Copies of this chain bind each other. A is one copy, B any other.
């Protein structure tokens, strides 16, 4: 059954993302992944040929998800403050639905920065979107309609405020004793509060 096969593959990809994230590429064993996905070890190689190929598939999927959501939120011609809201909302929303992805991506950034960087650099629409956003900021600073800020730093700050809570989540939950429910509520609030914070920081 083609459907059966596809659903088994998707199940493996889903749990493998989690195992790779929690243990790192080398730390995650094919035995771990097989056990978590409740399939035989040999089946993993039957479906995915190799550990590296399985990892690449997951990386590709994760990148595509982020890419599509962000292009939708960020690309159109909107006023600056609306873009800031749309960006943080899209980012936070995507990661609420896919909580393993931020740490998965950050592992990869740390251990193989060129991999993701090249995918971004080689992607013209992304680079244009970033340039347009920075130009928009520079123009508003020039026109005196927002406080003077470095446009790259503002982009960095927006990204930091949106992403950081997800990568720090495992520890924040332990230290401050958040339940899943409470931490989820915090993240929901941030879909609006991050943009409010950033806009307050730069508006006159």
Contact code string A86-119 (vs B, CB < 8 Å = 1, else 0) = 0000000000000000010011011101101110
Question: Hey, which chain B residues are within 8 Å of A150, CB to CB?
Answer: 189, 193
Q: Does A41 contact B (CB under 8 A)?
A: no
Docked-complex contact A110 and B103, CB < 8 angstroms: yes
Contact code string A7-24 (vs B, CB < 8 Å = 1, else 0) = 000000000000001111
Docked-complex contact A106 and B153, CB < 8 angstroms: no
Given contacts A160-B164, A161-B160, A164-B160, contact A109 B153 (CB under 8 A): no
Question: Hey, which chain B residues are within 8 Å of A175, CB to CB?
Answer: 117, 120-121
Question: Hey, which chain B residues are within 8 Å of A173, CB to CB?
Answer: 113
Q: Which of B103, B110, B149 interacts with A22 by CB under 8 Å? A: B110
Docked-complex contact B152 and A24, CB < 8 angstroms: no
Docked-complex contact A157 and B111, CB < 8 angstroms: no
Q: Which of B120, B159, B167, B201 interacts with A110 by CB under 8 Å? A: B167
Q: Is the interface of A mostly helix, strand, loop or mixed?
A: helix
Chain multiplicity (copies): 2
Interface size range on A against B = 35 or more
Question: Hey, which chain B residues are within 8 Å of A170, CB to CB?
Answer: 109-110, 113
Q: Does A124 contact B (CB under 8 A)?
A: no
Q: Does A63 contact B (CB under 8 A)?
A: no
Contact code string A143-157 (vs B, CB < 8 Å = 1, else 0) = 000010110110011
| 30 contacting pairs across A/B (C-beta < 8 A) | A22-B110, A22-B111, A24-B26, A24-B107, A25-B27, A26-B26, A103-B110, A106-B106, A107-B107, A110-B167, A113-B170, A113-B171, A114-B174, A116-B171, A117-B171, A117-B174, A117-B175, A120-B171, A149-B197, A150-B189, A152-B176, A152-B186, A156-B172, A157-B197, A159-B164, A160-B160, A160-B164, A198-B201, A200-B200, A201-B201
